[in-house]
Structures are given as C-alpha cells and as structure tokens.
Structure 1
C-alpha cells in the first residue's frame, strides 16, 4: 500500500489550545480513509493540516515523500489536492451552474449532473438559497469534477471531505459514498471526516483512524468491530 500523503508528528494550535498532539497520519493512495471522532477530536483540524489551511506548530506534512509543510493551500490544490470543508464549501453568491463551471475548470459538468440529477433543475438558483443537503451535493461535486491526477506528475489526486453527506437524504448519502469509493478505486487518496463509519463503507479495505483529543485512539479497517461501533 503506497502512502500518498502523511502527517508526521503534526501539532496544530489555535491560540493557547493545541488541537493536534503530534499526530502521525498516513494517507494511502487508491484507498478510502475515515477519520472518526466526536466534535473536538481533531479530525477537521487533521484535514485542514493536510490541505494547508492551518499551519503546523511542529511536525511535517509529506506528499509522495517530499516535505510540503511550507506549501500554501493553493499550491497543494494546484498539485492535485481537493478539500471540501464542512462549512462555506460553495460560493453562495454564484448560481449552481457557475459553481459547477468553476469546479470543472473548463470541462463539462456532466459527471456532477449524472451523480446528482436533482441539481439539473437547480442550475439557475443561487447556491446560497439551497437547502443544507443540496449545498452538500454541490460541494461534493467539487471532488467529482476535480482532476483525477496531478497534471505534472500523472499521480493520483488527494480528496479531503469533511462530513460530505451532512443533511443529505439516506439514499443520496449512500450514492455519495459509492461515488467517493469509486474515485478511490480509480487511484485517488480519499479522506473523509465522519462521526461514525457509514454503513456502506463498513467493509475490508476501508481504513479507519479514530481520533480522540488530538491523537489516535484506534487504527484499523472499517470492518473491525471497534471501528464499526459494535
């Protein structure tokens, strides 16, 4: 299993509070990795540290063996990283069509509309007027439309999504997890921050890191009893 990206002894502080306490987090290529934990466990901060939207107080971020700790978020995005945060993940003042056009970078938005047919009727709507579930569908489309590989090296992309199905109907959530798993099978390193293991991903081959108070409390596969919450 090839490690695509990793946090190495990562520490992140928000003022006097330390959110990550020397976290080691490998992110394999062609794999779905779940970061589990309650609010405040550090899972969102771990995604932000990988994406470069928060600086490390100590430790390193490595990508394909290179130290990219000092790279800014836009530099990582240019290299093939897509981060879908839990909040403000869409451009609220733009229409759905304009959001999709930005994500597609000149390509046709067909994959997004095939994945979420309900978006077709919403294309002229301003994204800020959509329901929570509709906004999450639109946000996930950023990952579906992002380049699958780095245009320079041809290596798989890294997709980071924070609670991607929040507010979605169960059937739509299941379809979303299936779509993200398909991206991993195509070579992408997919990392999802969740409070628990989604039923559709509770299977061998899906990796789990349960975070607690900024450190790792458990690592294994999603099918293992402790990760599945059994």
Structure 2
C-alpha cells in the first residue's frame, strides 16, 4: 500500500539494501521496462494536446524564454544524464541558486524553498499539478528514467551523500515515486531517502501501478508540491 500518513513511514535510518536480492530481480526489471516504454509512449501521444497548451502558456509568459529546461542529473550507479522538464523558473535561475542557498528550508543534500522567487506564475501552477514533469516521459523512452523510482538528484547533491544515502542510486530513477505521492514537501532529505529505500525494498509491478495511479490523482488534486 502507498503511504498516506507520515506515521506509517519507517524512519529508522538503518535500511540496508540486499544487492544480491536486487540483482536477482531480472523478470521484474524486464516487465518494468516493457511497462515503462508502453505507458510513456502512449502518454506522450494521449497528452500531446496538454503538452502543446503548456508550451504555449510558458511562451506567452516569457516570449524570449525557452519552453523545455534541460539539466544534468545522476541516475543509476552514478551515471549522468540530461533530464527534461517544462521550464517553471525564470531564465538564468541556476545562476541565482547560490544566493538563495542560505534560505533552504530542508536539511541535507537537497534545496527546497516554499516561495522561491525564481518560479514564474505559470511555473507555480505547473509545479502544483506536476505538469512540469511531463517531458520526462521522453527520458523514460530513452531508458534514463523509469516511470516509478527515486527522484534523480543533482551532481552537487550527490557529492554530499553518505554511503547510506547512495543506496538510492542502485536503481533507475523515476518520474514519480513513494516520496512524491506521500510526504513530499512535508519531510526533509533524510526522510526522503528512507522513503526511497522502502520503495526499493518493496517495489513490484502492482506497487508501481499504485504509485502511478496516485500520481494521476495528485495531478488533479495537488498534495502541496511547490
């Protein structure tokens, strides 16, 4: 069952992933990949009107800005890849991050700021509904990401990881995951790691499906994303 209450989360900070058991799950990985390709391809086609509407809204707000935002992230086993998102921040937002780091609202190797001044008007809506994540379906088709998995971190975040934290890099990162559909902005970095490790331990096709269905629900009824 997907976690709905923070009291259901096992925050013991002592979860160790069994590598041998993880590597033996070949059938699950094969079925997961088939599911990823099928659903992401169908999603890109079915959601094409939405993609065009979002692209038009972004361009209308900032005519000189780009529509798609590309950023380097860390994937399975530390492999770097380019992630694609609808741009939800002003142009040059990355350069302004350093001056905002002192306002970070979460502990650990992750940056979160509730009223981030870099987020555009349309960007706030896209983030609340998670529509900014839709271009990642292309990442899924490429094989860099899965529909469900841990959030892919930034290279600078990984530099601050402990060996315990690095366990979340043992699987392909996802567009959505246990963290996104449960606590999300209500917990910090260390709790996010716990959620990711719980997912890796419990992952299965039905569990993935439950997370996907809840993600769709959250896109309709947002759960506090920002």
TM-score, with structure 2 as normaliser: 0.27
Higher helix share: 2
More strand by share: 1
